[in-house]
Amino acid sequence: MIKIFFALLITVICLVSCVKKQPDLASPQIGNTATVKMDNGWWVNVSIKGQPGNLFPTPVFFQTYNTASNTADSIWVDDLGNFWDFKVTAVANYAALTFNVTGAFNNYYADTVNLANGKILPKAGHSRAGNITDSIYMEASFSDDVPAFGNTYIIAGTARTGFDEDDY
């Protein structure tokens, strides 16, 4: 009788210990990209360095995001066709939240792009509705700009908050 009891107890323990726990699909474990503090959508104003006023009546939308390599040393800077039609990979310094590139191949059409003094400033901006958000600044120049002008464009603005009242 004791042998049957222990055999039954061992069988139950083995069956219970072999049950796999199902993952909790309601709260998946999501990781961040290597450049998470630099990745965002941005409402930016564009102006020509040294000249007053913006080139557009309202801010235009840009994006910065990680590259496919997902390393902290590079990000995509993409105007989504809202300004010059440029999309380039910039060299990033994640610790300093800075980025730049010289002579970068434009992934939208055949020209090259220079980005200088690119910087993400955490909590240094205010959105359209006054919410505190990150800020971005960069200076851009393009190889296909009219040579007589040789313009440097100032691109500066604030991170998209996701609130409807902050969108343009």
Please tell me the predicted confidence (pLDDT) of residue 30.
Answer: 72
pLDDT, tens digit (0-9, with 9 covering 90-100), for 11-53: 666 656 655 565 555 555 677 999 999 999 999 999 999 999 9
Please tell me the predicted confidence (pLDDT) of residue 7.
Answer: 63
Please tell me the predicted confidence (pLDDT) of residue 54.
Answer: 95
pTM for the predicted model, two decimal places: 0.80
| Residue at 29 is within a domain | no
| Residue at 34 is within a domain | no
Please tell me the predicted confidence (pLDDT) of residue 5.
Answer: 58
Please tell me the predicted confidence (pLDDT) of residue 2.
Answer: 73
| Residue at 16 is within a domain | no
- Write down the residue that tokens 């009242």 correspond to: 165
Rounded Cα distance between 104 and 115, Å, is 9
| Residue at 79 is within a domain | yes
What is the number of structural domains in the chain?
A: 1
| Residue at 148 is within a domain | yes
Query: What residues in the chain have per-residue pLDDT under 50?
Result: none
Residue 67: give its domain's CATH number.
2.40.128.220
Which has the closest alpha carbon to 65: 42, 84, 96? 42
Two tokens, residue 45: 């104003």
Please tell me the predicted confidence (pLDDT) of residue 106.
Answer: 97
Please tell me the predicted confidence (pLDDT) of residue 146.
Answer: 77
